[in-house]
Amino acid sequence: MSATKAVKPVGTIKQIATGAKARAIAASEPVAPKKKPGKTKKPLAPERVAAILDALCKAYPNAVCALTHRSAWELTVATILSAQCTDVRVNLVTPSLFKTFPTPKAMAAASLPEIEELIRTTGFFRNKAKSIQGAAKCVVEDYGNKVPQTMEELLKLPGVARKTANVVLGSWFKIADGVVVDTHVLRISKRLELTENTTPEKVERDLIKVIPQDHWIDYSHEIIFHGRQLCVARKPRCVDCSLETLCNSSDKTWTSH
């Protein structure tokens, strides 16, 4: 009878090495065992959260906002456009938009049909055009032509909710006022049992309780990269995942546990 060969995870050398680091972290940290299949006994244990953050940091050391921008204003507009739209599509649209209307003052003076035509392919373009023009007028008239640097003031801009405000504060101003919660952050944070909620507002409140503030900005960038590359919505690539040994999600596609 021939000996059964051990099944090795498939992935690049870098992915396998990163996975090995995460497994070493998991083995050294006092992470609680499963309470039952698909559940971690103490998912919010500081040691487990620290191991998750460490693995993410090592896997995505250069993770930054994927929206192309050269100013706080451009990032604000790009983030408004990203609602129900991919960053790739937004990055295809914004060069022409900002070339035509390069400043908040120029955007405020533009006609809605002009803006709509330039952003049409991002979806919901009529509502987005109104939001962008309204935000431009607000920035010009209320904030001296400069994007404000506080959550309270940013939320007064048309089309800006907490996600957009957190993106601008974190990615441009480097101010950690909260955690950006998009579809990737919501899905993966739930898979990692860092939250049991399903709405962005409640998920953000849960995350800021367990993640150190100095990692709020990076956590979102890293999770978004992770969600696009490995922890996708359907059939996540768990075999290549550096968080695999720290994850007990019920929809895992491979496990070393």
Looking at every residue in the chain, the average pLDDT score rounds to: 89
pLDDT of residue 244: 95
- Output the known binding site for [4Fe-4S] cluster: 231, 238, 241, 247
3-state SS track over the chain: CCCCCCCCCCCCHHHHHHHHHHHHHHHHCCCCCEEECCEECCCCCHHHHHHHHHHHHHHCCCCCCCCCCCCHHHHHHHHHHCCCCCHHHHHHHHHHHHHHCCCHHHHHHCCHHHHHHHHHHHCCHHHHHHHHHHHHHHHHHHCCCCCCCCHHHHCCCCCCCHHHHHHHHHHHCCCCCCCCCCHHHHHHHHHCCCCCCCCHHHHHHHHHHHCCHHHHHHHHHHHHHHHHHCCCCCCCCHHHCCCHHHCCCCCCCCCCC
pLDDT of residue 25: 56
pLDDT of residue 7: 38
Give tens-digit pLDDT for 111-161: 999 999 999 999 999 999 999 999 999 999 999 999 999 999 999 999 999
pLDDT of residue 115: 98
Section 185-213 average pLDDT: 97
Q: Looking at the annotation, which residues are catalytic?
A: 163, 182
Section 195-217 average pLDDT: 97
Domain boundaries, the chain: 72-146
Whether 220 shows a pLDDT value over 50: the answer reads yes
- Output the known binding site: 231, 238, 241, 247
Give tens-digit pLDDT for 5-47: 443 444 444 444 555 665 565 555 444 444 444 578 899 999 9
Query: pTM for this one?
Result: 0.83
The CATH number assigned to the domain with range 72-146 reads: 1.10.340.30
